[in-house]
Amino acid sequence: MSTPIIEPRSALQIFRNNLLAAPRRLLDAMFRSGKPTTDRTRSTFVFGNVFLHLHSVRTHRWNLRWTTTMGLGIATTAAFLITLVTGVLLMFYYKPYPDAAYDSIKDIHFVVPTGRFIRNIHRWAANVMVVAVILHMARTFYTAAYRRPREFNWLIGMGLFVITLGLSFTGYLLPWDQLAYWAITIGANIAQSPREVTDALNITDWFDPGGFQKLLLLGSDVVGDEALIRFYLLHVMILPLALVALMAVHFWRIRKDGGLVRPVDADARLESSKEETYPVFTEAPKKTYQLAAIVKGKTPVVGRGPENTVPSMPHLFYAELAVLMLTTLICIGLSLLSDAPLKELANPAVPENPAKAPWYFLGLQEMVAFSAFMGGIGIPSIVIIGLGLIPFLDREEQGTGEWFGGAGGWPLVKQAMVVGFGASILIEAFVIRFGWLREWFPHVPQLVITLINPGTVLTLVYALYSVWLVRRYNSTRAGALGLFTVFLCGFIVLTIIGTYFRGPNWEFFWSPADWPKH
């Protein structure tokens, strides 16, 4: 301020002084706790802010280590925020009607300033989100972060995973090109696949969950106007709202569970910090403390002071922002280099051959090639139920918070990787080279193939291996470690085969150069 404040002698001078002081007053009104320079002001900075108070006020140093979480949860959230922002921008121009959708995407690509760039970011961030959520789930599993008291958060996370895949799948249809149309046709037919079982049992006439599911998904018998508007609604409103709601619960749960998972001896293992940890309390507190109120009962932090915690402002926020920016950099970099695909306008008369689902479903599609029901619904259900049961079956305490913690550890995981990759490659190689039951028994009923196909055989092999591990190590965690690892490896192998080695009529080719031309 260049003009000094004069001692006011009149209301006009008061007015002048007030006007000059207005900017500072505005800042003070917005940030009432002032600059976060002391522990107290840092605390109020967090819990006094509607957006930030989902965070805890103090964060344990163990949780800020990169190797604890690799920032994958934040990376997933960052990718979601990027898709959200770019998605809203795209909504200004996209038209969700079959006659207009494809052309509106072309307009976005060619005419809207940086439209091509924004659309690419949206597509890449969506892919990054799916990859990150899978890696995050793996990290959470391997650090046994689903154990008590975090079981329900694991389930919430599974819900978030399914919604993420749903968001990606519903968005896939929107460009209304050949890729989109036929991928969703496959998805809808997978939804209809219970008919494989009801047809074989001859009960479809009065019990047809398959047909119902497909009708529910498409709003019609065919992929058309109704399907597009339905998918659009799911993609821009219903699923994002559900995701945000579950994310709020997910993050809140982390708070209530006492922060991210830590080994019991985390404090001892932390090196002394160069920075700002110092004894906060002179003696250990004897009662619970919550900043909001005094209540009866215990919180998880009873008995421990906030030693080895640092104020979330700025330590946690620097970590989160760093991951956010890194994810943004990766998404933007990929977008400048590689265009989001757009094939010809959807043509119901000309099927793509091969018609492929989005990449994260290609492992499923590989199994669907044998049995639509098992590959599309049966095995995914088994997997989801299995994943959901993990926190309730493994109630051991050894190794919580450690990478590959628990009986068996890293050596077991290594062995499981060999089994996982090996079994899936072996069975795929067998079926590609020799074929399956119909080769030798042309009239075998479909129900037999539904029950006995490479997917179910592989699942059985994996399950037996896991049971063997439980007995060998006398530990449910060992079984869980093995089972998760083999399924992850099987998923990777099937996805790779479905992506790169399947050509027209879903036949095996070593390279796209070998695909037959029409």
Partner 1 sequence: MNKNKHLLLWSSLGVFLLLFVAAGQENFGKEWRSIQKASRSAEGALDVRLRQIVNPTLGISDRCVSCHVGMAPGETGITGPAVTAAHKNVVHQISDYGCTTCHGGQGRATEKADAHGTVHFWPQPMLPMKYSQAGCGTCHSALNVPNLAGLEKGRSAFERLDCLACHRVEGRGGTIRPGGGGMEGPDLSHIGVRGYAANWYEAHLRWREKSSEPVWKQSFDAISEADRVALGDYLATRIGASKLIEAKAQFNSLGCLGCHKVSGVGGDAGPDLSRSGERDPGQLNFTHVPGQPILSNWLAEHFRSPLGIVPGSQMPMMGLNERQIDLLTMYVLSLRRRELPGAFLPKDRVSALRFGAREFATDGATIFSAICAGCHGADGKGARYPGIPPFPNIAGPDFLQVASDEFITETIKQGRPGRKMPAWLSAGSNEAGLKPEEITRVVAYLRQLGGNTAVTPDTNPSRWVKGNAAMGAKLFAANCSGCHGAKGEGGEGPALNNKVLLSTANDRFFVETIGKGRRGTAMKGFLEPSPVRRALTQAEIEAIVTFLRSWEKK
Pick 17 or 328: Cβ nearer partner 1: 328
Q: Which residues contact 187 (CB under 8 A, 6 or more apart)?
A: 169, 217, 357, 361
Tokens of 32: 């009432």
Shortest distance (Å) from residue 319 CB to partner 1:
5
> Number of residues in contact with partner 1, rule: CB under 8 A?
32
Instruction: Give the nearest distance from C-beta 332 to partner 1 in angstroms.
Output: 5
Residue among 9, 287, 433, 517 that touches partner 1 (CB under 8 A): 517
Based on the shown chain and the rule CB under 8 A, indicate whether residue 267 belongs to the binding site for partner 1: no
Query: Which residue in 21, 26, 329, 444 binds partner 1 (CB under 8 A)?
Result: 329
**x-or-dash pattern for partner 1, window 116-155, by CB under 8 A?**
-x--------------------------------------
Q: Which residues of 264-275 are buried (b: 16+ CB within 10 A; e: fewer)?
A: eebeeebeeeee
- Which of 342, 407 has the CB closer to partner 1? 342
State the Cα–Cα distance between residues 45 and 475, nearest whole angstrom. 45
User: Contact between 107 and partner 1 (CB under 8 A)?
Assistant: yes
HEC-encoded secondary structure of 137-166: HHHHHHCCCCCCCCHHHHHHHHHHHHHHHH
Cα separation of 420 and 409, whole Å?
16
What x-and-dash track marks residues 17-56 binding partner 1 by CB under 8 A? ----------------------------------------
- Least separation in angstroms between residue 65's CB and partner 1 is 10
Regarding 113 and contact with partner 1 (CB under 8 A), the answer is: yes
What is the helix (H) or strand (E) element at residue 309, kind and residue range?
strand 309-311
Closest CA to 150 of 356, 401, 506: 401
Find out whether 208 and 198 touch, Cβ atoms under 8 Å.
Answer: yes
Quote the strand ranges of 156-217, DSSP E.
none
Element (H, E) at 436: none
Q: Which stretch binds partner 1 (CB under 8 A): 284-292, 328-336, 356-364, 435-443?
A: 328-336
- Residue 235 is classified by DSSP as I
Please provide residue 74's backbone torsions phi and psi, each rounded to the nearest 5 degrees. Answer: -65, -35
> 429 CB contacts (<8 Å, ≥6 apart)?
none
Work out whether 472 is an interface residue with partner 1 (CB under 8 A): no
Nearer to partner 1, 15 or 66 (CB): 66
| Interaction between residue 321 and partner 1 (CB under 8 A) | yes
Q: Is 114 in the site for partner 1 (CB under 8 A)?
A: yes
Which residues in the 54-83 window bind partner 1 by CB under 8 A? 64, 66
Judged by beta carbon, residue 117 or residue 468, the one nearer partner 1 is: 117
Q: How far is the CB of 330 from partner 1 (least distance, A)?
A: 9
Cβ(76)–Cβ(324) under 8 Å? Answer: no
CB of 204 to partner 1, least distance (A): 36
- Tell me which of 212, 252, 281, 318 binds partner 1, using CB under 8 A: 318
For residue 457, what are the contacts with CB-CB under 8 A and spacing of at least 6? Answer: 427
Closest residue by Cα to residue 137 from 118, 115, 160: 160
CB of 99 to partner 1, least distance (A): 8
Q: Which two tokens stand for residue 121?
A: 């970011």
Query: Which of these, 95, 85, 96, lies nearest to 119 by C-alpha position?
Result: 85
Residue number with CB closer to partner 1 (179 or 367): 179
Instruction: Check if the beta carbon of residue 152 is closer than 8 Å to that of residue 145.
Output: no
- Candidates 244-252, 332-340, 395-403, 429-437: pick the segment binding partner 1 (CB under 8 A): 332-340
Binding flag, residue 336, partner 1 (CB under 8 A): yes
Contact criterion met (CB below 8 Å) for 83 and 317: no
Nearer CB in complex with partner 1: 177/366: 177
Residue 325 interacts with partner 1 (CB under 8 A): yes or no: yes
CB of 275 to partner 1, least distance (A): 6
Q: Which residues contact 383 (CB under 8 A, 6 or more apart)?
A: 487
Among residues 111, 216, 284, 302, which is the contact residue for partner 1, using CB under 8 A? 111
Which parts of 288-317 interact with partner 1 (CB under 8 A)?
314-315
| Residue whose CB is less far from partner 1, 242 or 330 | 330
**Nearest partner of 360 among 197, 137, 512, 178, judged by Cα:** 137
Q: Which of residues 349-368 bind partner 1 (CB under 8 A)?
A: 350
Residues of this chain that bind partner 1 (CB under 8 A): 64, 66, 103, 106-107, 110-111, 113-114, 117, 177-178, 275, 314-315, 318-319, 321-322, 325-326, 328-329, 332-333, 336, 342-344, 350, 517-518
